[in-house]
Amino acid sequence: MAFACEIQHAAGGYGGARTENFRVLRAIGARELSPAGLAAEWCSLRRYVARVLRGLPGDQWIGWPELRKLLFEFYPDCAWTMFSQDTWWFSAPGKAGRLDINKPDDWKRTIGAIIETLLIEPLRWFGVIEIAEPGEHGLEAFRLTELHEWLGRVQGLLDNAEQASLPYLPVGAAARPRQAEAVAWLDDVQWRLPPAPDRAEFISFARKIAEPAGAPFTYALTPLSIEQALTQGITLDEVARQFGAYGAAMPAQAQAMFRSIAERFGRVRVYEALTVLKLADDYALRELLANTSLAQHIIYQISPRAVVVADAAVDALAEEMVARGYTPGIL
């Protein structure tokens, strides 16, 4: 065969445990059938299913096993619209022979399974049909909804080229405002900011003034994050205004911390995760600056014998000092 694609179909995907497997094979000489052509065939099958649904009574439970039997007896070849079964066909996995769609079991395993999937997945998700509680063998029954009836009336107007206004959507299918969890402070420095369509700019702003906390969508004000915000020109008034716009007034303690750091900004630098390196005499620092990478890690020099370095650099500096005969003591 020129190509073969294998499809695993969970016919009980809405609650049943049964799984149907089949392959689609194409004849070697059928170059005109591409994967896109096969997709077009199955688009036609979806249209066939839509036409079947239009002929069913509304707001009435339809037994799927009974309807499936009628569909098989009425038109078993419904999957072939543009090509013939000499071009492509169904086969069982690992077997060369064809499945005979004129046999009820093979039809149910292939075309019937595809139609069942259309019912329990896209048509149900779209709200066109309602599914009964699934049984042991998957779909048992379904019924058409008001939305299906509405679509039928709209299609009738379009088919007849009528100029009448379109009917209103059923109440159950009308668009509803999207619900979003409110922005809320968890304590004096942490808040929860769940995503929502109108919060993209606020989420970006939150990342400028705070650090991610442990829980999802949670942020925390820290001295370091506040200093970084001040470096970008963000003021306390701007921060308080942003929170107020989302109905989450900034706690007094958070404002006090922001204000305190802002008052010292430019005179006092705020750092986290630092280590003070204390040396035995004034000459040791000079030697280490000349013989190690210490100069690259010093954030501030307190005295001729003491400097401040980042915690992340301590292990590497200790290894360099030991390699050069020093015996650092790390507390």
**Residues 248, 279: one domain?**
no
Do 194 and 283 reside in the same domain of the chain?
A: no
Task: Give the separation between CA 295 and CA 284, rounded to whole angstroms.
Answer: 13
Residue at 162 is within a domain: no
Residue 167 within a domain: no
Looking at the fold, whether 235 and 191 belong to one and the same domain comes out as yes
Q: Which amino acid belongs to residue 40?
A: A
Considering the domain architecture, whether residues 206 and 296 belong to the same structural domain is answered as no
Confidence of residue 61 (pLDDT cuts 50, 70, 90): very high
| pLDDT for residue 11 is more than 60 | no
Same domain for 98 and 199, yes or no, is no
Residue pair 46/78 in contact (Cβ under 8 Å)? The answer is no
**Residues in a beta bridge with 26:** 88
Structure token pair of residue 1 = 């065969």
Do 26 and 126 fall within a single domain?
yes
Q: Is residue 175 part of a domain?
A: no
**Domain annotation covers residue 176:** no
Number of folded domains in the chain? Answer: 3
Judge if 225 and 311 occupy the same domain: no
pLDDT digits (tens, 9 = 90+) for 259-284: 998 888 765 555 667 777 787 777 77
Average pLDDT of the chain, as a whole number? 81
Enclosing domain of residue 243 = 184-264
Specify whether 211 is located in the same domain as 254.
Answer: yes
Q: What's the pTM value of the predicted model, to 2 decimals?
A: 0.49
Instruction: Give me the pLDDT at residue 190, please.
Output: 94
If asked whether residues 249 and 279 sit together in one domain, one would say: no
